[in-house]
């Protein structure tokens, strides 16, 4: 994708820096990354050359991570503990 990769770096560095204090910026970064994954899938080269759908697969996973960060990045272990505790009642 050539020169279009440079704006991504600038935006991601900014979002990463802001994300040190607020997870919402990290979540936005994952959504921005999703857009670039889709651009790679439709217009550029796949992330893994041997797997033509690798960029699309990445675009499916990234929004899930964004949702997790929008939720405040809760501990997965705590979620499982709460779930099993509720099931026992």
3-state secondary structure 24-88: HHHHHHHHHHHHHHHHHHHCCCCCCCCCCCHHHHHHHHHHHHHHHHHCCCCCHHHHHHHHHHHHH
**Tens digits of per-residue pLDDT, 32-81?**
999 988 888 888 777 777 777 888 888 899 999 999 999 998 888 877 77
Name the residue with higher pLDDT: 21 or 45: 21
User: What is the pTM (predicted TM-score) of this model?
Assistant: 0.77
- Whether 70 and 23 have beta carbons less than 8 Å apart is answered as yes
């Amino acid at each position: 994708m050539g020169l279009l990769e440079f704006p991504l770096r600038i935006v991601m560095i900014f979002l990463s820096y802001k994300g040190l204090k607020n997870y919402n910026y990290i979540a936005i970064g994952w959504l921005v990354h999703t857009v670039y994954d889709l651009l790679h899938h439709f217009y550029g080269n796949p992330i893994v050359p041997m797997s033509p759908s690798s960029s699309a697969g990445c675009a499916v996973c990234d929004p899930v991570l964004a949702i997790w960060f929008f939720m405040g990045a809760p501990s997965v272990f705590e979620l499982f503990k709460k779930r099993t505790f509720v099931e026992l009642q």
